[in-house]
Amino acid sequence: MRWLKAMLRPEMPAQQSFPEKDTLRLPFSSFQTWCEQEQLSSAAASEITIVYQKVLHASKRLHSFQERIADHQQRREKAKELVQSKEQEWAQLLLDPHRQYLVELKQRRDQAQEKITKHRNTLDSAFTVLHQLLRRPENAVFHHALFSHYFFDSVKTLLADRELRIVLQLKAIQAALDAHQLVVPLRDLEAAYAALQALEPVIITAIQQECLDLQQDLFFISQQVSRKDLLQTLDDLDYWLKHHQQQVLKLEQDIQALEEEIQRVHERRQELVRQLESLASEALQRNIVITI
């Protein structure tokens, strides 16, 4: 296959060797003017012009990429300065014992809210399946208003449902499903059983207890934090620190991609310059070296 690829690949004109004394070195910037002054055949002039335009286009692309890299580097350094500034602000806050305590409270609050969100996602996913199943007209007899409350605000409803009335409803649904008293499309059967499995009494009880504990922790934190403005400052500082860190990372990735593109275009331009030298040397029967 190599010989076939070699036949299909366009060949660059082989540059003839001329005596060293016949070598002419030309800067690329004046190459076009020089060509216009020479008596070149129309065919040679046409070929040279085509390759010259390709070199010119590659040079413009390189210049554009270099400008973009310079801009990205400047923005990256600015972002790094902002990261350093936010890190210093954070470190300064930790010097004050009261503020350090607030930072710890903030971390506890964020962790509590993250856990509640995780439980909400678990409940919402399961109750969405059951809610859609029970809303079918043929299953209306098994529908209960409690399911609607869980569907619209699962965590709030669970916290209010201290007696866990939902457990009895879920058991009734499970029994009806096992007894084939519910109309469930075959494609939804697996999802219905998975939803009931995710809402087993033991799991529901555990989620309710943890959510109650987390709510109490959040209430305690809100009582301890007397300076709401400072806690908001911590939130803002945390947000902007992460934002600038991500900005630095993204700019570094973009710079690396641009550098790789510059290398590729530079190599292509070098090939075109050699091709241009070969065409000019052939047309004028002397060595032409183009500096760029």
The pLDDT value given to residue 3: 38
In a domain, 167, yes or no: yes
In a domain, 22, yes or no: no
Which residues span the domain enclosing 160? Answer: 97-225
Distance, in Å, from the CA atom of 120 to the CA atom of 113, rounded to the nearest integer, reads: 10
Distance, in Å, from the CA atom of 237 to the CA atom of 243, rounded to the nearest integer, reads: 10
In a domain, 9, yes or no: no
Position 8 confidence tier, pLDDT thresholds 50, 70, 90: very low
Please name which of 188, 195, 181, 213 lies closest in space to residue 123, comparing C-alpha atoms.
195
In a domain, 211, yes or no: yes
In a domain, 41, yes or no: no
Count of CA atoms in the C-beta half-sphere (13 A) of 193 = 8
The pLDDT value given to residue 19: 53
pTM for this model (two decimals): 0.48
Is the model's pLDDT at 59 over the cut of 70?
Answer: yes
In a domain, 13, yes or no: no
Strand partners, 289: 25
The pLDDT value given to residue 9: 42
Residues in contact with 26: Cβ distance below 8 Å, sequence separation at least 6, in sequence order:
34, 288, 289, 290, 291
Distance, in Å, from the CA atom of 189 to the CA atom of 237, rounded to the nearest integer, reads: 48
On average, the pLDDT of the chain sits at 82
In a domain, 104, yes or no: yes
Position 12 confidence tier, pLDDT thresholds 50, 70, 90: very low
The pLDDT value given to residue 148: 83
For residues 137 and 79, which has the higher predicted lDDT (pLDDT)? Answer: 79
Structure confidence by residue, pLDDT tens digits, 110-159: 888 899 999 999 999 898 888 888 888 888 777 778 888 888 888 989 98
The pLDDT value given to residue 16: 54
Q: Please state the domain count of the chain.
A: 1
Distance, in Å, from the CA atom of 92 to the CA atom of 152, rounded to the nearest integer, reads: 43
The pLDDT value given to residue 141: 77
CA distances from 18 to 74, 203, 220, 286 (A): 48, 88, 90, 6
Number of separate helices (H) and strands (E) present in the chain: 10, 2
Rounded (10°) CA dihedral 253, 256, 260, 261: 60
Position 10 confidence tier, pLDDT thresholds 50, 70, 90: very low
| Percentage of the residues of the chain whose pLDDT score is greater than 70 | 88
In a domain, 92, yes or no: no
Position 250 confidence tier, pLDDT thresholds 50, 70, 90: very high
The pLDDT value given to residue 75: 93
Distance, in Å, from the CA atom of 6 to the CA atom of 12, rounded to the nearest integer, reads: 12
